[in-house]
Amino acid sequence: MDDRRMHPLALFVMHPAEPLGFALVVGLALVAAPVPLVAIVAFFGLNLAMGTLAHLPAPQLHGDRWPDRWLGGAVLHQGHHRTPEGDFGFFTQVWDRLLGTRSGGSTVAGPP
């Protein structure tokens, strides 16, 4: 499957280290603090729903509204599929802005 094409199944096309790292982070969080089962199910359900929505073949949006510039979702993730070397944020663009990995390499000090 071409990882630049938006398709709901593209959610599951990733480097093997990515799910292992995700499992490690979640596992450490569960060891560090007791978390109710309902919270775990809600987290994974939300993650699956957001990932599926972000990979829908929606029109190529521009992200002119403030939520599109700072929060994640389909607008941001379409940018990642167009330019895989940047736009890594999924739920937020904060790290991409701080580390200069947004498309075009702009940082938080640069234009939105």
pLDDT digits (tens, 9 = 90+) for 24-60: 988 898 899 888 989 989 988 988 887 787 777 765 5
* Contact present, 15 and 6 (Cβ < 8 Å): no
Give the domain range for residue 26: 8-105
User: What distance separates the 2 farthest-apart alpha carbons in the chain?
Assistant: 42
Domain total for the chain? 1
What residue ranges in the chain does DSSP mark as E strands? none
> How does pLDDT run across 71-93, given as a tens digit for each residue?
666 667 777 777 777 777 666 77
Structure tokens belonging to residue 70: 């700072």
100-105's contacts with Cβ under 8 Å and 24+ in sequence apart are: 103/79
**pLDDT reported for residue 107:** 41
The verdict on residue 35 lying in a domain is yes
The verdict on residue 49 lying in a domain is yes
* Contact present, 9 and 1 (Cβ < 8 Å): yes
